[in-house]
Amino acid sequence: MGKSFFYILILFFSFETLFAYRENSIDRFTFSKKSLLYDFRTIDFESYIILEMNKGFGEYAFGKYVIGFEISTLINPYYSLLFRYDTKILEKTSIINRMKILPFLHIISGYTFWNYSEYSINEHNLYLHTDIRLSILKYARISLSGGPGVKIVDLNTNDFSFNYKTDYFTQIILSWRLSFNFFITKYFHTAVEISNLYDNDQISLGALQLESKNTFYPSKRYGFVLDYGVGFAGSGSVSGFINRFWISFGGFYRHEI
Amino acid sequence: MKYNLLLFIFMGIISCDYFDPKTFFYTNPVDSRFDSNIQLEKIKAPVLIDENNYNFLVISDTHYYQTDLNYFDSIQKYVNEYQIEFVVVCGDITQAGMEYSFQLAVKDFQRVSIPVYAVFGNHDLSNNGFSLFSTYFGRTMYDFSFGDTYMVFLDTANGILGDKQKKWYKSILNENKKSNIFVFNHFTLFDDLFQTPTAMPYPEETYFFTNINDQYNIDYFITGHLHRFDDRTVRDVKYLSLAAPLSSYGKAVLFIVTGNDISYQIVDAVFDDR
Protein backbone atom coordinates (compact mmCIF):
# COMPACT_ATOMS: atom_id res chain seq x y z
CA MET A 1 0.00 0.00 0.00
CA GLY A 2 2.81 2.38 0.97
CA LYS A 3 4.60 1.78 -2.30
CA SER A 4 1.48 2.41 -4.39
CA PHE A 5 0.90 5.64 -2.48
CA PHE A 6 4.46 6.67 -3.27
CA TYR A 7 3.91 6.07 -6.99
CA ILE A 8 0.71 8.10 -6.94
CA LEU A 9 2.65 10.89 -5.25
CA ILE A 10 5.30 10.82 -7.98
CA LEU A 11 2.65 10.95 -10.68
CA PHE A 12 0.91 13.79 -8.91
CA PHE A 13 4.09 15.86 -8.70
CA SER A 14 4.99 15.15 -12.30
CA PHE A 15 1.59 16.41 -13.44
CA GLU A 16 1.75 19.26 -11.02
CA THR A 17 4.86 20.59 -12.75
CA LEU A 18 2.80 21.00 -15.90
CA PHE A 19 0.71 23.70 -14.31
CA ALA A 20 2.99 25.15 -11.68
CA TYR A 21 4.35 28.00 -13.74
CA ARG A 22 1.34 28.82 -15.80
CA GLU A 23 -0.28 32.18 -15.21
CA ASN A 24 -3.04 33.86 -17.02
CA SER A 25 -1.96 37.36 -17.90
CA ILE A 26 -5.49 38.69 -18.28
CA ASP A 27 -6.51 37.58 -14.78
CA ARG A 28 -3.63 39.40 -13.25
CA PHE A 29 -4.45 42.63 -14.97
CA THR A 30 -5.25 45.42 -12.53
CA PHE A 31 -8.56 46.95 -13.38
CA SER A 32 -8.63 50.71 -13.37
CA LYS A 33 -11.39 52.92 -14.75
CA LYS A 34 -10.64 55.92 -16.89
CA SER A 35 -7.07 55.00 -17.20
CA LEU A 36 -4.66 53.98 -19.75
CA LEU A 37 -1.97 51.78 -18.46
CA TYR A 38 0.75 49.40 -19.27
CA ASP A 39 1.22 46.34 -17.15
CA PHE A 40 4.71 44.98 -17.21
CA ARG A 41 4.13 42.31 -14.63
CA THR A 42 2.35 39.85 -16.81
CA ILE A 43 4.19 36.82 -17.94
CA ASP A 44 2.56 34.05 -19.85
CA PHE A 45 3.96 30.64 -20.57
CA GLU A 46 3.78 28.47 -23.58
CA SER A 47 3.70 24.86 -22.60
CA TYR A 48 2.60 21.59 -24.00
CA ILE A 49 2.57 17.99 -22.94
CA ILE A 50 4.08 15.24 -24.98
CA LEU A 51 2.65 11.85 -24.24
CA GLU A 52 4.92 9.24 -25.65
CA MET A 53 4.64 5.48 -25.65
CA ASN A 54 7.64 3.49 -26.76
CA LYS A 55 8.31 -0.18 -27.14
CA GLY A 56 11.82 -1.26 -27.86
CA PHE A 57 12.76 -4.32 -29.83
CA GLY A 58 15.91 -5.73 -31.40
CA GLU A 59 17.99 -5.11 -28.27
CA TYR A 60 21.37 -6.46 -29.32
CA ALA A 61 22.96 -6.81 -25.90
CA PHE A 62 20.13 -8.35 -24.02
CA GLY A 63 17.57 -9.48 -26.54
CA LYS A 64 14.71 -8.61 -24.26
CA TYR A 65 11.78 -6.27 -24.19
CA VAL A 66 11.38 -3.35 -21.90
CA ILE A 67 8.11 -1.54 -21.89
CA GLY A 68 7.39 1.91 -20.55
CA PHE A 69 6.18 5.38 -21.20
CA GLU A 70 7.21 8.98 -20.87
CA ILE A 71 5.25 12.10 -20.02
CA SER A 72 7.04 15.38 -20.46
CA THR A 73 6.26 19.04 -20.62
CA LEU A 74 8.15 21.81 -22.31
CA ILE A 75 7.94 25.30 -20.91
CA ASN A 76 9.14 28.43 -22.67
CA PRO A 77 8.21 31.74 -21.03
CA TYR A 78 6.63 34.60 -22.96
CA TYR A 79 6.70 38.20 -21.94
CA SER A 80 3.45 39.96 -22.78
CA LEU A 81 3.10 43.69 -22.83
CA LEU A 82 -0.58 44.54 -22.45
CA PHE A 83 -2.34 47.64 -23.51
CA ARG A 84 -5.67 48.42 -21.95
CA TYR A 85 -7.94 51.07 -23.23
CA ASP A 86 -10.99 51.65 -21.12
CA THR A 87 -13.85 54.06 -21.48
CA LYS A 88 -17.41 53.87 -20.26
CA ILE A 89 -18.43 52.56 -23.64
CA LEU A 90 -15.63 50.16 -24.40
CA GLU A 91 -13.41 47.96 -22.35
CA LYS A 92 -10.65 46.41 -24.27
CA THR A 93 -7.45 44.65 -23.44
CA SER A 94 -5.09 43.86 -26.17
CA ILE A 95 -1.62 42.43 -26.37
CA ILE A 96 0.56 44.91 -28.15
CA ASN A 97 3.73 42.97 -27.90
CA ARG A 98 4.33 39.33 -27.10
CA MET A 99 7.78 37.90 -27.20
CA LYS A 100 9.80 35.12 -25.71
CA ILE A 101 12.06 36.28 -22.91
CA LEU A 102 14.78 33.83 -23.81
CA PRO A 103 13.70 32.30 -27.11
CA PHE A 104 16.52 29.78 -27.10
CA LEU A 105 15.83 28.47 -23.58
CA HIS A 106 13.27 25.82 -22.81
CA ILE A 107 12.61 23.92 -19.63
CA ILE A 108 11.68 20.29 -19.96
CA SER A 109 10.30 18.37 -17.04
CA GLY A 110 9.12 14.83 -17.26
CA TYR A 111 8.50 11.43 -15.84
CA THR A 112 9.61 8.15 -17.36
CA PHE A 113 8.51 4.71 -16.28
CA TRP A 114 10.15 1.46 -17.33
CA ASN A 115 9.02 -1.99 -16.40
CA TYR A 116 11.60 -4.80 -16.32
CA SER A 117 9.09 -7.56 -15.89
CA GLU A 118 11.73 -10.26 -16.42
CA TYR A 119 13.59 -9.03 -13.34
CA SER A 120 10.50 -7.90 -11.34
CA ILE A 121 11.90 -4.40 -11.22
CA ASN A 122 10.29 -1.04 -12.02
CA GLU A 123 12.15 2.15 -12.68
CA HIS A 124 10.76 5.66 -12.23
CA ASN A 125 12.62 8.70 -13.48
CA LEU A 126 11.76 12.32 -12.79
CA TYR A 127 13.81 14.96 -14.52
CA LEU A 128 14.05 18.71 -14.94
CA HIS A 129 16.25 19.72 -17.84
CA THR A 130 17.08 23.02 -19.44
CA ASP A 131 17.21 22.89 -23.20
CA ILE A 132 19.18 25.48 -25.13
CA ARG A 133 18.16 25.62 -28.80
CA LEU A 134 20.15 27.44 -31.41
CA SER A 135 18.62 27.72 -34.86
CA ILE A 136 21.54 28.01 -37.19
CA LEU A 137 19.55 27.73 -40.42
CA LYS A 138 15.88 27.60 -41.28
CA TYR A 139 16.05 23.83 -41.53
CA ALA A 140 18.61 23.04 -38.85
CA ARG A 141 18.87 23.48 -35.12
CA ILE A 142 21.39 22.52 -32.45
CA SER A 143 20.10 21.82 -29.02
CA LEU A 144 21.96 21.13 -25.81
CA SER A 145 19.93 19.89 -22.90
CA GLY A 146 20.88 18.70 -19.48
CA GLY A 147 20.06 18.79 -15.83
CA PRO A 148 19.30 16.72 -12.79
CA GLY A 149 17.04 13.74 -12.57
CA VAL A 150 15.89 11.47 -9.79
CA LYS A 151 15.72 7.76 -10.37
CA ILE A 152 13.59 5.63 -8.06
CA VAL A 153 13.99 1.91 -8.49
CA ASP A 154 11.55 -0.56 -7.03
CA LEU A 155 13.78 -3.59 -6.48
CA ASN A 156 11.01 -6.12 -6.13
CA THR A 157 7.61 -5.56 -7.67
CA ASN A 158 6.29 -8.71 -6.01
CA ASP A 159 6.99 -7.39 -2.53
CA PHE A 160 5.02 -4.45 -1.15
CA SER A 161 7.31 -3.57 1.75
CA PHE A 162 8.91 -0.17 1.53
CA ASN A 163 12.36 0.10 3.09
CA TYR A 164 15.05 2.34 1.66
CA LYS A 165 18.03 0.46 0.11
CA THR A 166 16.30 -2.88 0.67
CA ASP A 167 13.07 -2.55 -1.31
CA TYR A 168 13.85 0.56 -3.31
CA PHE A 169 16.67 3.00 -3.85
CA THR A 170 16.87 6.51 -5.19
CA GLN A 171 19.62 8.24 -7.10
CA ILE A 172 20.23 11.76 -8.27
CA ILE A 173 21.76 11.77 -11.71
CA LEU A 174 23.07 14.47 -14.01
CA SER A 175 22.47 13.86 -17.68
CA TRP A 176 23.15 15.73 -20.90
CA ARG A 177 22.22 15.49 -24.55
CA LEU A 178 23.60 17.25 -27.62
CA SER A 179 21.21 17.11 -30.53
CA PHE A 180 21.53 18.15 -34.18
CA ASN A 181 18.06 18.55 -35.65
CA PHE A 182 17.14 18.75 -39.32
CA PHE A 183 13.64 19.80 -40.39
CA ILE A 184 13.56 18.24 -43.82
CA THR A 185 9.88 18.53 -44.63
CA LYS A 186 6.78 19.68 -42.79
CA TYR A 187 6.00 16.07 -41.94
CA PHE A 188 9.41 14.75 -41.05
CA HIS A 189 12.20 15.75 -38.71
CA THR A 190 15.40 13.87 -38.03
CA ALA A 191 17.95 14.33 -35.27
CA VAL A 192 21.37 12.96 -34.51
CA GLU A 193 21.97 12.88 -30.79
CA ILE A 194 24.88 12.18 -28.50
CA SER A 195 24.14 11.81 -24.82
CA ASN A 196 24.89 9.99 -21.60
CA LEU A 197 21.43 8.51 -21.62
CA TYR A 198 20.60 4.90 -22.33
CA ASP A 199 18.70 3.38 -25.18
CA ASN A 200 15.37 3.53 -23.41
CA ASP A 201 15.98 7.02 -22.07
CA GLN A 202 16.82 5.75 -18.62
CA ILE A 203 18.76 8.54 -17.06
CA SER A 204 22.19 7.38 -16.05
CA LEU A 205 25.80 8.39 -15.76
CA GLY A 206 28.96 6.79 -17.09
CA ALA A 207 27.62 5.97 -20.50
CA LEU A 208 27.67 7.38 -23.97
CA GLN A 209 25.33 6.75 -26.82
CA LEU A 210 24.82 7.91 -30.35
CA GLU A 211 21.37 7.76 -31.80
CA SER A 212 19.25 8.84 -34.71
CA LYS A 213 15.74 9.93 -33.89
CA ASN A 214 13.31 10.26 -36.79
CA THR A 215 9.94 11.84 -36.16
CA PHE A 216 7.02 11.72 -38.57
CA TYR A 217 4.16 14.21 -38.18
CA PRO A 218 1.06 13.23 -40.16
CA SER A 219 -0.76 15.71 -37.95
CA LYS A 220 0.19 18.49 -35.55
CA ARG A 221 -1.17 16.48 -32.63
CA TYR A 222 0.23 13.03 -33.14
CA GLY A 223 3.07 11.31 -34.87
CA PHE A 224 5.48 8.39 -34.93
CA VAL A 225 9.07 8.05 -33.84
CA LEU A 226 11.67 5.69 -35.27
CA ASP A 227 14.72 5.64 -33.07
CA TYR A 228 17.91 3.63 -33.50
CA GLY A 229 21.41 3.89 -32.18
CA VAL A 230 24.43 2.38 -30.52
CA GLY A 231 25.57 2.62 -26.95
CA PHE A 232 28.94 2.41 -25.27
CA ALA A 233 29.42 1.35 -21.72
CA GLY A 234 32.45 1.13 -19.55
CA SER A 235 34.16 2.32 -16.43
CA GLY A 236 34.93 5.65 -18.08
CA SER A 237 32.48 7.36 -20.36
CA VAL A 238 33.77 5.78 -23.54
CA SER A 239 36.29 3.31 -22.23
CA GLY A 240 34.05 0.38 -22.88
CA PHE A 241 32.85 -0.60 -26.28
CA ILE A 242 29.67 -0.77 -28.26
CA ASN A 243 27.63 -3.16 -26.20
CA ARG A 244 24.17 -2.51 -27.51
CA PHE A 245 22.30 -1.65 -30.62
CA TRP A 246 18.61 -0.96 -30.69
CA ILE A 247 15.74 0.03 -32.89
CA SER A 248 12.54 1.26 -31.37
CA PHE A 249 9.31 2.45 -32.79
CA GLY A 250 6.79 4.52 -30.90
CA GLY A 251 3.92 6.91 -31.25
CA PHE A 252 3.16 10.14 -29.47
CA TYR A 253 0.24 12.37 -28.83
CA ARG A 254 0.98 16.02 -28.23
CA HIS A 255 -1.48 18.17 -26.43
CA GLU A 256 -0.94 21.88 -26.14
CA ILE A 257 -2.24 23.55 -23.02
CA MET B 1 51.37 31.03 -20.42
CA LYS B 2 48.13 29.26 -19.60
CA TYR B 3 48.46 27.13 -22.76
CA ASN B 4 51.95 26.13 -21.66
CA LEU B 5 50.53 25.09 -18.31
CA LEU B 6 47.82 23.04 -19.98
CA LEU B 7 50.41 21.47 -22.26
CA PHE B 8 52.57 20.68 -19.23
CA ILE B 9 49.63 19.00 -17.47
CA PHE B 10 48.74 17.06 -20.62
CA MET B 11 52.34 15.91 -21.11
CA GLY B 12 52.46 14.92 -17.45
CA ILE B 13 49.33 12.80 -17.83
CA ILE B 14 50.43 10.99 -20.96
CA SER B 15 54.02 10.41 -19.82
CA CYS B 16 53.13 9.08 -16.36
CA ASP B 17 52.11 5.44 -16.05
CA TYR B 18 50.27 6.07 -12.77
CA PHE B 19 47.24 6.85 -14.85
CA ASP B 20 46.49 5.44 -18.29
CA PRO B 21 44.47 8.04 -20.26
CA LYS B 22 43.69 5.67 -23.11
CA THR B 23 41.40 3.67 -20.81
CA PHE B 24 38.89 6.48 -21.32
CA PHE B 25 38.76 5.56 -24.99
CA TYR B 26 39.54 1.88 -25.27
CA THR B 27 39.99 -1.14 -23.02
CA ASN B 28 40.09 -4.85 -23.70
CA PRO B 29 36.42 -5.87 -24.09
CA VAL B 30 34.96 -8.27 -21.54
CA ASP B 31 33.64 -10.70 -24.18
CA SER B 32 37.11 -11.09 -25.69
CA ARG B 33 38.53 -11.62 -22.19
CA PHE B 34 35.92 -14.34 -21.69
CA ASP B 35 37.28 -16.18 -24.77
CA SER B 36 40.85 -15.81 -23.51
CA ASN B 37 39.90 -17.14 -20.06
CA ILE B 38 38.69 -20.45 -21.47
CA GLN B 39 42.21 -21.16 -22.70
CA LEU B 40 43.72 -20.58 -19.25
CA GLU B 41 44.15 -23.21 -16.59
CA LYS B 42 41.33 -23.61 -14.05
CA ILE B 43 41.93 -22.14 -10.62
CA LYS B 44 41.92 -24.68 -7.83
CA ALA B 45 39.88 -24.49 -4.66
CA PRO B 46 41.78 -24.09 -1.36
CA VAL B 47 42.58 -27.24 0.58
CA LEU B 48 40.90 -26.87 3.97
CA ILE B 49 41.07 -28.91 7.14
CA ASP B 50 37.29 -28.78 7.57
CA GLU B 51 35.49 -27.83 4.37
CA ASN B 52 32.27 -26.92 6.14
CA ASN B 53 33.70 -24.92 9.03
CA TYR B 54 36.27 -22.33 8.05
CA ASN B 55 37.13 -18.62 8.07
CA PHE B 56 38.41 -16.47 5.24
CA LEU B 57 39.44 -12.85 4.89
CA VAL B 58 38.41 -10.38 2.19
CA ILE B 59 40.27 -7.14 1.41
CA SER B 60 40.06 -4.91 -1.63
CA ASP B 61 41.65 -2.14 -3.70
CA THR B 62 45.28 -2.59 -2.69
CA HIS B 63 46.53 -0.43 -5.60
CA TYR B 64 50.16 -1.58 -5.67
CA TYR B 65 52.21 0.83 -7.75
CA GLN B 66 55.95 1.37 -7.33
CA THR B 67 56.42 0.67 -3.63
CA ASP B 68 56.12 -2.47 -1.59
CA LEU B 69 52.99 -1.81 0.45
CA ASN B 70 53.58 -4.84 2.63
CA TYR B 71 49.96 -5.48 3.55
CA PHE B 72 50.31 -9.23 3.89
CA ASP B 73 52.97 -9.14 6.57
CA SER B 74 50.29 -7.56 8.74
CA ILE B 75 47.70 -10.14 7.68
CA GLN B 76 50.05 -13.05 8.43
CA LYS B 77 50.16 -11.97 12.08
CA TYR B 78 46.42 -12.58 12.35
CA VAL B 79 46.21 -15.85 10.38
CA ASN B 80 46.30 -17.99 13.51
CA GLU B 81 44.30 -15.68 15.73
CA TYR B 82 41.38 -15.48 13.29
CA GLN B 83 41.99 -18.97 11.82
CA ILE B 84 42.06 -17.50 8.31
CA GLU B 85 42.30 -20.25 5.69
CA PHE B 86 42.51 -18.09 2.56
CA VAL B 87 42.32 -14.46 1.45
CA VAL B 88 40.35 -12.83 -1.38
CA VAL B 89 41.50 -9.48 -2.81
CA CYS B 90 38.43 -7.95 -4.39
CA GLY B 91 39.98 -6.15 -7.37
CA ASP B 92 42.19 -3.15 -8.18
CA ILE B 93 45.25 -5.01 -7.03
CA THR B 94 47.50 -2.65 -8.98
CA GLN B 95 47.26 1.07 -9.64
CA ALA B 96 47.68 0.99 -13.41
CA GLY B 97 48.27 -2.60 -14.52
CA MET B 98 52.06 -2.21 -14.76
CA GLU B 99 54.26 -5.31 -14.59
CA TYR B 100 56.37 -4.06 -11.69
CA SER B 101 53.14 -3.44 -9.73
CA PHE B 102 51.96 -7.03 -10.35
CA GLN B 103 55.40 -8.28 -9.25
CA LEU B 104 55.13 -6.27 -6.03
CA ALA B 105 51.66 -7.70 -5.42
CA VAL B 106 52.81 -11.29 -5.96
CA LYS B 107 55.79 -10.71 -3.68
CA ASP B 108 53.48 -9.38 -0.97
CA PHE B 109 50.95 -12.22 -1.41
CA GLN B 110 53.76 -14.70 -0.84
CA ARG B 111 54.23 -13.31 2.67
CA VAL B 112 51.19 -15.22 3.89
CA SER B 113 51.17 -18.96 4.36
CA ILE B 114 47.65 -19.33 2.93
CA PRO B 115 46.26 -19.05 -0.63
CA VAL B 116 45.28 -15.65 -2.03
CA TYR B 117 42.56 -15.33 -4.69
CA ALA B 118 42.46 -12.28 -6.93
CA VAL B 119 39.56 -10.45 -8.54
CA PHE B 120 40.22 -8.41 -11.67
CA GLY B 121 39.51 -4.67 -11.27
CA ASN B 122 39.32 -1.66 -13.57
CA HIS B 123 42.76 -0.36 -12.52
CA ASP B 124 44.28 -3.77 -13.29
CA LEU B 125 42.92 -3.47 -16.81
CA SER B 126 44.96 -0.34 -17.60
CA ASN B 127 47.93 -0.56 -19.94
CA ASN B 128 48.50 -4.23 -20.72
CA GLY B 129 46.81 -5.31 -17.49
CA PHE B 130 44.74 -8.25 -18.64
CA SER B 131 47.62 -10.21 -20.12
CA LEU B 132 49.81 -9.47 -17.06
CA PHE B 133 47.04 -10.43 -14.64
CA SER B 134 46.59 -13.70 -16.53
CA THR B 135 50.31 -14.36 -16.32
CA TYR B 136 50.57 -13.72 -12.58
CA PHE B 137 47.17 -14.85 -11.28
CA GLY B 138 45.52 -16.83 -14.07
CA ARG B 139 41.85 -16.52 -14.96
CA THR B 140 39.87 -13.35 -14.34
CA MET B 141 36.51 -15.17 -14.25
CA TYR B 142 36.42 -18.47 -12.41
CA ASP B 143 34.60 -20.60 -9.91
CA PHE B 144 35.32 -23.46 -7.54
CA SER B 145 33.57 -25.39 -4.84
CA PHE B 146 34.49 -27.27 -1.70
CA GLY B 147 32.36 -28.84 1.02
CA ASP B 148 28.98 -27.13 0.84
CA THR B 149 30.45 -23.88 -0.50
CA TYR B 150 30.44 -22.49 -4.02
CA MET B 151 32.51 -19.42 -4.92
CA VAL B 152 32.31 -17.38 -8.11
CA PHE B 153 34.77 -14.69 -9.16
CA LEU B 154 33.54 -12.33 -11.86
CA ASP B 155 35.35 -9.98 -14.19
CA THR B 156 33.63 -6.59 -14.51
CA ALA B 157 36.79 -4.55 -15.00
CA ASN B 158 35.12 -2.45 -17.72
CA GLY B 159 32.14 -2.00 -15.44
CA ILE B 160 30.25 -4.47 -17.60
CA LEU B 161 29.39 -8.12 -17.14
CA GLY B 162 29.02 -8.73 -20.86
CA ASP B 163 26.82 -11.08 -22.78
CA LYS B 164 29.05 -14.19 -22.65
CA GLN B 165 29.88 -13.90 -18.96
CA LYS B 166 26.22 -13.27 -18.20
CA LYS B 167 25.25 -16.56 -19.86
CA TRP B 168 28.11 -18.33 -18.11
CA TYR B 169 27.08 -16.92 -14.71
CA LYS B 170 23.53 -18.08 -15.26
CA SER B 171 24.59 -21.56 -16.36
CA ILE B 172 27.02 -22.19 -13.47
CA LEU B 173 24.45 -21.06 -10.92
CA ASN B 174 21.93 -23.35 -12.54
CA GLU B 175 24.27 -26.35 -12.25
CA ASN B 176 25.37 -25.56 -8.71
CA LYS B 177 24.16 -27.86 -5.91
CA LYS B 178 25.98 -26.22 -2.98
CA SER B 179 24.08 -24.10 -0.52
CA ASN B 180 26.69 -21.54 0.69
CA ILE B 181 27.26 -19.27 -2.30
CA PHE B 182 29.69 -16.35 -2.40
CA VAL B 183 30.16 -14.12 -5.44
CA PHE B 184 33.11 -11.74 -5.74
CA ASN B 185 33.03 -8.86 -8.17
CA HIS B 186 34.98 -5.60 -8.33
CA PHE B 187 32.25 -3.13 -9.31
CA THR B 188 29.48 -2.41 -6.83
CA LEU B 189 25.89 -2.73 -7.96
CA PHE B 190 24.44 0.11 -5.94
CA ASP B 191 25.75 3.63 -5.71
CA ASP B 192 25.21 6.49 -3.28
CA LEU B 193 22.33 8.93 -3.47
CA PHE B 194 24.33 11.02 -5.95
CA GLN B 195 25.30 8.76 -8.79
CA THR B 196 29.00 8.52 -9.57
CA PRO B 197 30.79 6.36 -12.14
CA THR B 198 31.73 3.94 -9.35
CA ALA B 199 28.72 1.66 -9.62
CA MET B 200 28.08 -0.62 -12.58
CA PRO B 201 27.15 1.85 -15.31
CA TYR B 202 24.57 -0.26 -17.10
CA PRO B 203 21.41 -0.32 -14.94
CA GLU B 204 20.04 -3.35 -16.74
CA GLU B 205 23.00 -5.45 -15.54
CA THR B 206 22.39 -4.27 -11.99
CA TYR B 207 18.77 -5.42 -12.32
CA PHE B 208 19.93 -8.70 -13.86
CA PHE B 209 22.19 -9.33 -10.85
CA THR B 210 19.47 -8.34 -8.39
CA ASN B 211 17.11 -10.85 -9.91
CA ILE B 212 19.44 -13.79 -10.53
CA ASN B 213 21.15 -13.49 -7.13
CA ASP B 214 17.73 -13.74 -5.52
CA GLN B 215 16.66 -16.58 -7.80
CA TYR B 216 19.70 -18.74 -6.99
CA ASN B 217 19.88 -17.80 -3.28
CA ILE B 218 23.30 -16.18 -3.29
CA ASP B 219 24.41 -15.60 0.29
CA TYR B 220 26.95 -12.83 -0.20
CA PHE B 221 27.78 -10.63 -3.20
CA ILE B 222 31.08 -9.00 -2.24
CA THR B 223 32.60 -6.04 -4.08
CA GLY B 224 35.19 -3.28 -3.75
CA HIS B 225 35.80 -0.24 -5.94
CA LEU B 226 33.96 2.36 -3.82
CA HIS B 227 36.82 2.65 -1.28
CA ARG B 228 34.26 2.82 1.48
CA PHE B 229 32.25 0.23 3.36
CA ASP B 230 28.65 -0.45 2.42
CA ASP B 231 26.35 -3.19 3.59
CA ARG B 232 22.79 -3.77 2.39
CA THR B 233 20.35 -6.61 1.88
CA VAL B 234 18.26 -6.73 -1.26
CA ARG B 235 15.79 -9.59 -1.81
CA ASP B 236 17.49 -11.53 0.99
CA VAL B 237 20.91 -11.34 -0.69
CA LYS B 238 23.62 -9.52 1.27
CA TYR B 239 25.66 -7.01 -0.73
CA LEU B 240 28.91 -6.00 0.88
CA SER B 241 31.30 -3.40 -0.47
CA LEU B 242 34.73 -3.15 1.09
CA ALA B 243 36.87 -0.10 1.73
CA ALA B 244 40.52 0.20 0.65
CA PRO B 245 43.26 -0.82 3.16
CA LEU B 246 44.08 2.78 4.05
CA SER B 247 40.45 3.78 4.64
CA SER B 248 39.10 4.36 8.10
CA TYR B 249 36.47 1.62 8.35
CA GLY B 250 35.51 -1.66 6.70
CA LYS B 251 38.83 -2.45 5.03
CA ALA B 252 39.10 -6.10 6.07
CA VAL B 253 36.18 -8.47 6.56
CA LEU B 254 36.46 -11.91 8.15
CA PHE B 255 33.82 -14.43 7.07
CA ILE B 256 33.03 -17.21 9.49
CA VAL B 257 31.34 -20.25 7.96
CA THR B 258 29.94 -22.84 10.34
CA GLY B 259 27.98 -25.37 8.32
CA ASN B 260 25.24 -23.37 6.64
CA ASP B 261 25.55 -20.52 9.09
CA ILE B 262 27.54 -17.62 7.64
CA SER B 263 28.48 -14.47 9.47
CA TYR B 264 31.08 -11.77 9.08
CA GLN B 265 32.98 -9.35 11.24
CA ILE B 266 35.05 -6.31 10.38
CA VAL B 267 38.66 -6.89 11.39
CA ASP B 268 40.34 -3.63 10.48
CA ALA B 269 42.96 -4.45 13.10
CA VAL B 270 44.82 -6.53 10.51
CA PHE B 271 45.95 -3.25 8.95
CA ASP B 272 46.75 -1.48 12.20
CA ASP B 273 50.47 -1.86 11.60
CA ARG B 274 50.10 0.06 8.37
pLDDT 10s digits, A65-87: 555 666 666 666 555 555 555 55
Q: Lowest-confidence range among A26-35, B124-133, B248-257?
A: A26-35
Please say if the pLDDT value at position A94 is more than 50: yes
Q: Which residues of B touch A243 (CB under 8 A)?
A: 160, 162-163, 202
Distance from CA of B26 to the nearest CA of A (A): 5
Q: Which residues of A touch B190 (CB under 8 A)?
A: 165, 169
Q: What is the pLDDT of residue A33?
A: 34
A115 at the B interface (CB within 8 A)?
no
Residue A222 CA to residue A45 CA, distance in Å, equals 22
Q: Pick the residue of B28, B202, B235 with the most A CBs within 10 A to test the interface with A by mutation.
A: B202
Amino acid identity at B86:
F
Helix (H), strand (E), coil (C) string for chain A: CHHHHHHHHHHHHHHHHHHHCCCCCCCCCCCCCCCEEEECCCEEEEEEEEEEEEEEECCCCCCCCCEEEEEEEEEEEEEEEEEEEECCCCEEEEEEEEEECCCCEEEEEEEEEEEEHHHCEEEEEEEEEEEEEEEEECCEEEEEEEEEEEEEEECCCCCCCCCECCCEEEEEEEEEEEEEEEEEECCEEEEEEEECCCCCCCCCCCEEEEEEEEEECCCCCEEEEEEEEEEEECCCCCCCEEEEEEEEEEEEEEEEC
Look up the pTM and report it: 0.78
Residue B137 CA to residue B190 CA, distance in Å, equals 28
Q: What is the pLDDT of residue B36?
A: 93
pLDDT in tens, B53-65: 999 999 999 999 8
Q: What is the pLDDT of residue B51?
A: 94
> What are the Cα distances from residue B181, in Å, to A223, B128, B216, B217?
51, 32, 9, 8
Longest dimension (CA), chain A: 74
Architecture of domain B37-271: 4-Layer Sandwich (3.60)
Domain range summary for chain B, segments of one domain joined by +? 37-271
B229 at the A interface (CB within 8 A)?
no
Nearest beta carbon to residue B202 from set A159, A165, A233: A233
Q: What is the pLDDT of residue A154?
A: 93
Q: Which residue does chain B place closest to A236, by CA atoms?
A: B24
Please say if the pLDDT value at position A239 is more than 60: no
Residue B221 CA to residue B240 CA, distance in Å, equals 6
Please say if the pLDDT value at position B87 is more than 80: yes
Nearest beta carbon to residue B204 from set A62, A120, A238: A62
CA-based nearest residue to A125, from A115, A135, A134: A115
Residue A211 CA to residue A229 CA, distance in Å, equals 4
Q: What is the pLDDT of residue B52?
A: 93
A61 at the B interface (CB within 8 A)?
yes
Q: Pick the residue of B204, B211, B236, B238 with the most A CBs within 10 A to test the interface with A by mutation.
A: B204
Residue A110 CA to residue A242 CA, distance in Å, equals 28
What is the average pLDDT across A206-234?
77
Buried b (16+ CB within 10 A) or exposed e, A168-180: bbebebebebebe
Residue B21 CA to residue B19 CA, distance in Å, equals 6
pLDDT in tens, A140-165: 889 898 888 888 999 999 888 888 88
Q: 3-state DSSP call for residue B11?
A: helix
Structural domains present in chain A: 2-256 (2.40.160)
pLDDT level of residue A28 (50, 70, 90 thresholds): very low
Buried b (16+ CB within 10 A) or exposed e, B260-271: eebebeebbebb
Q: Looking at this predicted complex, what is its ipTM?
A: 0.82
Q: Give the other-Cβ count within 10 Å of B232's Cβ.
A: 15
Distance from CA of A167 to the nearest CA of B (A): 7
Contact A230, A244 (CB under 8 A): yes
Query: A155 vs B210: CB contact, 8 Å cut-off?
Result: yes
Q: Which residues of A touch B193 (CB under 8 A)?
A: 170-172
Query: A239 vs B25: CB contact, 8 Å cut-off?
Result: yes
B216 at the A interface (CB within 8 A)?
no
Q: Pick the residue of B122, B195, B198, B233 with the most A CBs within 10 A to test the interface with A by mutation.
A: B195
Residue A125 CA to residue B219 CA, distance in Å, equals 30
Q: Which range has highest mean pLDDT (A21-25, A44-48, B9-13, B226-230)? A: B226-230
Residue B17 CA to residue A81 CA, distance in Å, equals 63
pLDDT level of residue A125 (50, 70, 90 thresholds): confident
Q: Pick the residue of A239, A244, A245, A246 with the most B CBs within 10 A to test the interface with B by mutation.
A: A239
Q: Which residue does chain A place closest to B24, by CA atoms?
A: A239
Q: Lowest-confidence range among A13-22, A152-161, B21-30?
A: A13-22
Nearest beta carbon to residue A202 from set B193, B203, B235: B203
A207 at the B interface (CB within 8 A)?
yes
Q: Which residue does chain A place closest to B31, by CA atoms?
A: A243
- What is the count of residue pairs from A and B with beta carbons less than 8 Å apart? 110
A242 at the B interface (CB within 8 A)?
no
Q: Lowest-confidence range among A90-104, A123-137, A206-220?
A: A90-104
**Angle in degrees, CA B203, B209, B214, rounded to 5:** 135
The average confidence (pLDDT) of chain B is: 89
Nearest beta carbon to residue B160 from set A121, A159, A233: A233
Residue A14 CA to residue A18 CA, distance in Å, equals 7
Give me the percent of chain B exceeding a pLDDT of 90. 66
Across-strand partners of B107? Answer: none
Nearest beta carbon to residue B158 from set A61, A172, A235: A235
B167 at the A interface (CB within 8 A)?
no
